[in-house]
Structures are given as C-alpha cells and as structure tokens.
Amino acid sequence: MLKKKLLNVGFVDVEVADRAPFGLAALARYPLFPPEFIEFVRAVVPADRHDALVSSIVLTARKPTVHEGGL
C-alpha cells in the first residue's frame, strides 16, 4: 500500500529494499513509547504476537527527472 501511495504522488522506481518484523522488545527501546504503553500492549496482545507486532519497511524511490515528466 505504501509503495502504491508513493507511485500515486509521482515517485518512480519505488522498490522495497528491506522488510522485517518489529516486535514489542524493539518498540520498548524507543523513547516515543512510555513504559506504561509497552505494558498495556504486552497485556492486551497475545504473547505469540509479541515478536512481530508490525513490519519495518525500507523503500527506495526517486523523483522523476524533467525529461520523464517531473517538475
């Protein structure tokens, strides 16, 4: 879906460079998520899902050149 959105706004050569599961332990390392939130997620999400709550995705893309119809 993200790849399609980048294409829709004019990027070209959009490719998925890396995709990996991102789990609760990784989220806990970021100061964006307070300990209370991590504990809440740990309580409401089944333990078998803790290692892969979301996916980390790295995309590469570029703006088109003027010759390709870009600005």
Check if the beta carbon of residue 24 is closer than 8 Å to that of residue 53.
yes
Distance CA 63, CA 11 (A): 5
Check if the beta carbon of residue 55 is closer than 8 Å to that of residue 19.
yes
Check if the beta carbon of residue 20 is closer than 8 Å to that of residue 68.
no
Domain ranges in the chain?
A: 2-64
**H or E element in which residue 7 lies:** helix 2-8
Summarize pLDDT for 22-63 with one digit per residue, the tens: 899 998 888 888 999 999 999 999 999 999 998 888 999 999
Q: Average pLDDT for residues 2-14, to the nearest whole number?
A: 90
